[in-house]
Each structure stands twice: as structure tokens, then as C-alpha cells.
Amino acid sequence: MTRLRDALNGLAEEAPPANLAGLADLAVVGYRRRRRSTATLAAVATIAVLAGVTATVLMAGPRRTPAAAPQEAPVPVLPAGKVGTLSHAYLETCLPPKGKDPLPDCVPDEWRVVTSAGKTYRVPQALGTTARNHRVPVAVSRDGRMFAYYDKDAEAHVVRDMVTGVETVSAAKVKEERLGVGSMLVVSDDGRHLAFDPREGTKDPGLLIDVRTGGTVPVPGVYEPVAIKDGVAELVRYRRTDLLFMPVTGGGRPVRFDGVFIMFSELAPDGRTVVAFEFPPGKKTQPEYVTRRLTVLDTRTGRTLRKVSVKGLPKRAGIDDATIWQSPSEVTLAVGVGPDTRAYAVDVRTGRARPVAKYPGRSRGQLVLPGAAGGL
């Protein structure tokens, strides 16, 4: 426990003793009073409207009745069998409505998947949050075919092939209590391997899981998963910054970069470079995801190959993440624009960005994009 956390705990202990039973009653009474007033007003308004409508009909004759406001159809549960590849997954957080808006028809902290065809499904079998209210990650493979999630009843991860509908329950058991703050998950393109970090930013060791055999390879706790590609897990150790390319069978040597970098992409198709954003220590210099300048790094030498200013993003946009490569020269950036997230393919030679996907009303924190570590 750090000193800041200790001090916050101490300060929280100074909160006045809550005795809100009476307050709860007041809230209920106030709610009922408002409901009655609203109902009375609604009745008066209805009578007035009916009178008005009757008068209008009598004066103007029959007219077409206005169409009823469209109602959102309830989101179906993910059916067994084939549903097609996924565009993304998201956690339905069911945010409180603003003002007097009605409560949205949703279950908070439930995972949903969206297919490439645009169909949305609820996935209630994928645990959204643990009993301790820690978010449980899911993952979508780079091509959107594999969907990995944690099943509470099986106490294990499950990988579902969305094209064939085949589900594989991992033989490697993971207790729910192991899923801590900022747990992370990545799934390989063939759905066979998972990289799992039980708690972001701690030395609690992670696991590379072979879903078919149940075999596991421990990952040093200082590393966090970024991606799995071609049988190699990309793992990052922040602060130094080191990147470790660890074969799914274990081993691998880390490379150290000169400087502090965050938001790493997967390994480029050239098998050598990655994109990240420099996070200069100290308070004077802004992080480069704010100044919109990406860095292309050589994973063999640790050297910075070049820095490129990203052009063509909306004015209000904030860069959230770098993920998979769209082509040998274009990397995907997840960008927050107001309440939405958008994906842009950015040319790492020119910095030119072109939009490739939109996720309206979804913050990056809710979204799991193909190939990116779920739980970001």
C-alpha cells in the first residue's frame, strides 16, 4: 500500500457516520410524491390533448395518425452455432440516464459482441465483473473469428470460434479470486493460445494458456500482454521500457528502448518494428499521445527509427491506443472523439490517418477491439 493510498484511506475514515435510513425513506416519499404529481399532470394533459384532438378531428376530418416512436428491439442472447466474425465486443455499462431520460434497457457490466454484419448479441455467460467488482476481460482475435471470455461456472476461459460455433473450454482452471484490478486477456488467431494477466501493474505472474491441452507457461509478473501473433506473445514491461517477444512455449529475450513508451502496437508485418507513444517523465513535457506524435521502434536494436506526427484526426480527438496493422505501412489507432471511439489507419511513413471504423457511443474503456489486449 502506498502512502497516498494510506492517506486516502485515513481521510475516508474521517467521513461522518452515515445514518441514511431516514434519508432513504425521504427519497422514497419524494419519489412517490413526484410520481403522483406527474400522473396528475399527465392526466390533465391527456384530457387537454384529447379535447384538442377531438376538436381538430371534428374540424378537419380524418387524418393519418402519426407513427409511434420506434422502440429499440431487445438485444438477443448469443445463440449457439455460427454467427460470423466479430467487429468488436463491448461492456454494456448501462450508464445512468441524464435528467429525466428513461433508464436504458440493459444489464450493467454485461459483455456484448457485435458481428462484422452489425448484429449485436448479449453474452451473459461471459463474466463481466467479479464479486469484488473487478472487470473481467474478454478478447477478440485479430481477424475477429475467435472470442475468448471467462466462464464463472467452468472457472476457466472459453474460446468460441464464431464462424463454426465450436466452443473450447480451457483445461487450465483460473479461480475468480485471481482476477484482480485491470486483468487482461489476448487470444491468438487460431484460438489456441491465451495471454492472461491477472492484475495490471503488479508482479502477480501472468499465464500463457494452451486452451487445447490446458498447459500453461508462466509470464513474469512485471510484463503485460499486448498481442499474440504467429505463435509469439508480445509483452511489455512499462517504465523501463522493455518489450518481450515470448514464444507460446516459453523463452524469448526482452529488448529495452531508450525512453519511456506506452500504447504499443502489435509487431508490424515486417516482423521487426512496433509503434508506441513516448511518455516523457516529468511534468514539463506532454505525453506524445497528446501531441499526436507516434514513434516507430526497432525491436531488434531498441532504437527509435523515426517519429511521425499523426495528421487528419478530428480536432477534439484523443489517441487511446495503437493496435493491429492494417497493411505493412498502416497501423490502427483507437481514438476517442467525444463519447465515441473511432479506429484510424495511420501511415507510419507520412502520418496520414484515414478512418476505418466507428464505435458510436462507446468509450475505449468499454471496447475490446480485434487483436488488442482486452481489459485496457
| Residue 315 touching other proteins (CB under 8 A) | no
Would you give the binding string for other proteins spanning residues 330-369, x where CB under 8 A is met?
Answer: ------x--x-x---------------------xxxx---
Q: Which of 121, 122, 144, 200 binds other proteins (CB under 8 A)?
A: 200
Cα gap 31→38, rounded to integer Å: 10
Least distance in angstroms from the C-beta of 368 to other proteins: 10
SS3 7: helix
Q: Report yes or no: 246 and 195 within 8 Å, Cβ to Cβ.
A: no
Q: Which of 163, 182, 314, 351 binds other proteins (CB under 8 A)?
A: 182
Residue placing its CB nearer to other proteins in the complex, 70 or 96: 96
| Residue 69 touching other proteins (CB under 8 A) | no
- The number of residues that bind other proteins (CB under 8 A) is 69
Residue placing its CB nearer to other proteins in the complex, 47 or 107: 107
Would you give the binding string for other proteins spanning residues 31-50, x where CB under 8 A is met?
Answer: x-------------------
Least distance in angstroms from the C-beta of 93 to other proteins: 5
- Cell match 493491429: residue? 324
Least distance in angstroms from the C-beta of 117 to other proteins: 27
CA angle 222, 225, 229 (to 5 degrees): 140
H or E stretch at 347? strand 340-347
> Parallel, antiparallel, or unpaired: how do β-strands 304-309 and 318-327 relate?
unpaired
Q: Half-sphere exposure (CA, 13 Å, Cβ side) for 101?
A: 9
Q: Residue 125: name the closest of 138, 115, 134 by CA.
A: 138
| DSSP label of 311 | B
Residue 206 forms beta bridges with which residues?
219
Least distance in angstroms from the C-beta of 375 to other proteins: 7
CA dihedral 244→328→364→239, nearest 10 degrees, is 30
Type of residue found at 8: L
Q: Which of 158, 243, 319, 324 binds other proteins (CB under 8 A)?
A: 319
Ordered DSSP codes for 32-89: HHHHHHHHHHHHHHHHHHHHHHHHHHHHH---PPPPPPP-PPPPPBPPSS----EEEE
Residue placing its CB nearer to other proteins in the complex, 49 or 107: 107
- Which residues ranging from 110 to 169 are in contact with other proteins (CB under 8 A)? 129, 133, 135
Would you give the binding string for other proteins spanning residues 246-265, x where CB under 8 A is met?
Answer: --------------x-x---
* 322's grid cell: 495503437
Least distance in angstroms from the C-beta of 105 to other proteins: 9
Give the binding site for other proteins (CB under 8 A).
2-21, 23-28, 30-31, 91, 93-97, 103, 106-109, 129, 133, 135, 181-182, 200-201, 238-239, 260, 262, 279, 281, 283, 287, 289-290, 318-321, 336, 339, 341, 363-366, 375-376
